[in-house]
Structure 1
Amino acid sequence: MSSLLHPFRVTETPHREPLLYVSSTVDGHILCVGQDGLVSIWSANLKLKKTSLILDENENKLQNRRLKWVSDSILMAHYNKLIIGTCNREIRLYELSNLEPYCQIVALETMPLCLDYSVRGEGECVISYGDEQGCVNILLISSVAETLRNWTKYPPVEEIPTISANAIYEQENITFIRWKVHNDWVTKIKYIPSMESIISSSNDDCTALVIGYVSRTKNVKHRLKTLMGSSTVSHNKFALPATASPARRFQCDESVFKVHKGVKSFDFCRESNILVTGGLDRNIRLWNPYVPGWPIAILRGHTSPIGFLCIAHDSTKIFSVSLDSTIKVWDIEDHSCLLTVMPKASQIRGEMETCYFSPDLRALYVAAETFGLLQFQYKENQNQDSGTSHNKPIFCCQYNKQLQHVISCSEDSVIKVWDLKTGQLIVKVCEAHGGAAVTCMALDAIGKRYSNI
């Protein structure tokens, strides 16, 4: 069972534009990135520590130039970097320690609407982004530390080392892959190392959520047919030139989940093999990731589109937040709603912009007009252990009517004497090591002996 620690912590924020990203840093602080490039750093209990504008105001005042906005952001925690995407088709890296610009990649083919970063192996990582054309763009980077250092050696533009996208694609340590996946803008993207796949979503019904392999097909017949039967196949190390029309994966390389009105948010849990989705139709769906035809269950209760979903680290609960800032906690096993927190109760004002769930703190951070912290505690069933007398199946038991004692023996020959009135353990008689060798007669003798204690 879940409950809230009171009181709720809600505070005003220095951000005047919507927050796009909230996450915790390695030193336990909370980092927020706004659409205008304002970064704020908070303590875990929502005390503002620092603010910094990472997009220079002078850039937006240059003549004949559009205003520059942040489209999304992601932490590259292993290398102490903050990655942002901009509406000017750029990806920028900043030093997380001082929020100074590190380098930037410019002249991308499309705008990086949503970003993801993941470690792939030792010294390897994946930076992926979805765009307005419904494409999934993937950068597979090896020797990451060396590659990042090399990027800083390129000539500066606006005092930031700048490398063009075409130059990125030609580097030996980088493989660029681009797939046409959705029929609408990509709303979220996530790399799953255990599946070697990318999960991406959109608001399109027919391509609401797609799980697809990162690179080439795993089907041998399709691979041979492609290599032998097509003279137009690129032999470069990236699947497709940046300027070419993006290709679609083979059907055998992806699973397509159709959802009414599409998917705005999703989460995947490897341990329980559960995929959850939510979107404009206000319903949460639970899926087996290998069975896209129909959901395992549909959870109903939100009255506004769902903007955030998270499976808790213990894989038993789902946290969901709708755009009207209503928060719900669901049980994965019985598909019931354990807790509902209305905006008036949490004192969170305005429409939800972004959220972050911290498994370490068991806390949900909700960014709207105000910035709120809701910390959860789980009430364990206190009678759970009292109803379990042994770790192994019970072999036999006897009852002493005079003293109202119960003597029980488990399959591993652990004998215990219990007070039936209080349900308390009086004494653990013995623990044999020869298996379940205690007979009912012996147990009865033991019971008479210890009932006289």
Structure 2
Amino acid sequence: DKLATYLMLKLYDNDDREKASSVPNWKSGKNLLNAHRDSIKRIQHMDSFSRYISISKEGTVCIYNDEMQLYKTFKAATESCKMRDLWITDFVLMTNVNKVAIAYTSKELIIYDMTSKLELSLAYRIVGIDATPYCLDYWSDSENPNDAILSWGDVKGNVHAILFNSAIIALFERPPQQTNNAAYTRVQLEDIANGNYKNASYLTYHAHTEWTRQVKYVDHLECFISCSTNTKTALVFGWMDKSGLTVRVNYSVRIRQLREARNVVEISQGLNSFDYSRNFNLIATAGVNYQVSLWNPFVLSKPNGVIKI
């Protein structure tokens, strides 16, 4: 009897250990202070400050520590509209230059410096945008941080991108008509398109027949990927070509040109979002039809796998 009891206890102990290692041991939930009064557009981690940042539709900016405890909160206002009319559609961190880009329904992109005190200081206002920007993305070259791309999709189904070649030095050089005492630099999108800035160039193309829900530049594929909730243009690839080098004093940046041909994937009811894994070279799409699909970016005739929710 003693031997049988010992063996049973031993087996129970082994079983408990196996369950503890295989079943997730979730920690209890935390109650977090929330200063947002409307939908949160995005939450991102600021690696250089070891903080999280979130911004909501009505313009409230919240900074949290790594334990998600509220550190400070303030408003991201714009002079083009009153606070009661303020509507932020998205924001993105520009990590290599410690800046934050915010998109407003007032048809402008505002780029702020993130100061050492974790406050936003207005640096650039990009105006003259034809349609309201809805989603943002930012990419920078890990080997050459001067090479960076700020892209956005708008409510007319277009994809836009500003390609920077001196991001660390200055995103845009200050025009001669603006005094050095100006609090920020006002940038007309048309001036970028016309080549009036040496530090930046602009490209755009029409991708969707409905709002561009998400856009992402994937350097590994050298293309822009965007999605919409339209069946015919659910997922669109805008491919790029590297056509040379822009040479500066002590560095060089690739010159990129947009190909005319694009790949379009039809998905029933369209997509809400997607993500790309470089390790697996797969694109995961979240469909309006409650399906998660995995795609090979070079074989778009059918997905590699489908998860029905």
- Same fold flag (TM > 0.5): yes
The answer for the alignment partner of 1:126 in structure 2 is 149
Structure 2 contact 164–171 (Cα < 8 Å) conserved: no
Structure 2 contact 172–199 (Cα < 8 Å) conserved: no
Identify which of 68, 74, 81 aligns with 2:99.
81
Count of matched residue positions in the alignment of Structure 1 and Structure 2: 268
Structure 1 contact 52–99 (Cα < 8 Å) conserved: no
- In 1, Cα distance between the equivalents of 2:114 and 2:236? 32
Structure 2 contact 52–65 (Cα < 8 Å) conserved: yes
The answer for the alignment partner of 2:127 in structure 1 is 106
What's the CA shift for 1:238?
10
What's the CA shift for 1:143?
1.2
User: What are structure 1's unaligned runs of at least 5 residues?
Assistant: 218-236, 240-247, 302-453
The answer for the alignment partner of 1:418 in structure 2 is none
Identify which of 202, 226, 239 aligns with 1:176.
202
Change beyond 3 A, Cα 1:279–1:103 = same
CA RMSD across the alignment: 2.8
- In 1, Cα distance between the equivalents of 2:165 and 2:127? 20
What's the CA shift for 1:2?
6.5
- Residue pairs, 1:31-70, within 5 angstroms: 31-55=53-77, 59-60=81-82, 67-70=85-88
Identify which of 278, 297, 303 aligns with 2:305.
297
The answer for the alignment partner of 2:165 in structure 1 is 142
Name the SS of the counterpart of 1:166 in structure 2. helix
What's the CA shift for 1:193?
0.7
Structure 1 contact 179–249 (Cα < 8 Å) conserved: no
Structure 2 contact 81–106 (Cα < 8 Å) conserved: no
What's the CA shift for 1:160?
3.8
AA in 2 matched with 1:36: E
Structure 2 contact 123–183 (Cα < 8 Å) conserved: no
What's the CA shift for 1:172?
2.3
- CA-to-aligned-CA distance 1:385-437 (integer Å, 9 cap, x gap): xxxxxxxxxxxxxxxxxxxxxxxxxxxxxxxxxxxxxxxxxxxxxxxxxxxxx
Pairing 1:165–2:189 present: yes
Change beyond 3 A, Cα 1:68–1:263 = same
The answer for the alignment partner of 1:421 in structure 2 is none
AA in 1 matched with 2:29: F
Farther-moved stretch of structure 1 (170-179 vs 50-59)? 50-59
AA in 1 matched with 2:131: T
Change beyond 3 A, Cα 1:182–1:57 = closer
Structure 2 contact 209–230 (Cα < 8 Å) conserved: yes
- In 2, Cα distance between the equivalents of 1:150 and 1:173? 7
- In 2, Cα distance between the equivalents of 1:162 and 1:31? 25
- Residue pairs, 1:129-278, within 5 angstroms: 129-148=152-171, 150-151=173-174, 154=178, 160-169=184-193, 170=195, 171-214=197-240, 250=260, 253-278=261-286
- In 2, Cα distance between the equivalents of 1:15 and 1:57? 21
The answer for the alignment partner of 1:96 in structure 2 is 114
In terms of Rg, which structure is larger?
1
- In 1, Cα distance between the equivalents of 2:78 and 2:72? 17
Change beyond 3 A, Cα 1:138–1:214 = farther
- In 2, Cα distance between the equivalents of 1:238 and 1:190? 16
Structure 1 contact 103–161 (Cα < 8 Å) conserved: yes
Change beyond 3 A, Cα 1:58–1:146 = closer
- In 2, Cα distance between the equivalents of 1:112 and 1:280? 22
Identify which of 5, 8, 11 aligns with 2:32.
11
- In 2, Cα distance between the equivalents of 1:152 and 1:84? 22
- In 2, Cα distance between the equivalents of 1:96 and 1:284? 36
Name the SS of the counterpart of 2:191 in structure 1. helix
AA in 1 matched with 2:303: P
Change beyond 3 A, Cα 1:87–1:155 = farther
What's the CA shift for 1:76?
0.3
Structure 1 contact 176–238 (Cα < 8 Å) conserved: no
What's the CA shift for 1:43?
1.5
- CA-to-aligned-CA distance 1:33-52 (integer Å, 9 cap, x gap): 11122110011222100001
What's the CA shift for 1:71?
1.4
Change beyond 3 A, Cα 1:13–1:147 = same
Give the 4+ runs in structure 1 shifted more than 3 A: 56-59, 151-156, 214-217
What's the CA shift for 1:197?
0.4
- Residue pairs, 1:341-356, within 5 angstroms: none
Name the SS of the counterpart of 2:231 in structure 1. coil
Structure 2 contact 228–272 (Cα < 8 Å) conserved: yes
Change beyond 3 A, Cα 1:127–1:296 = same
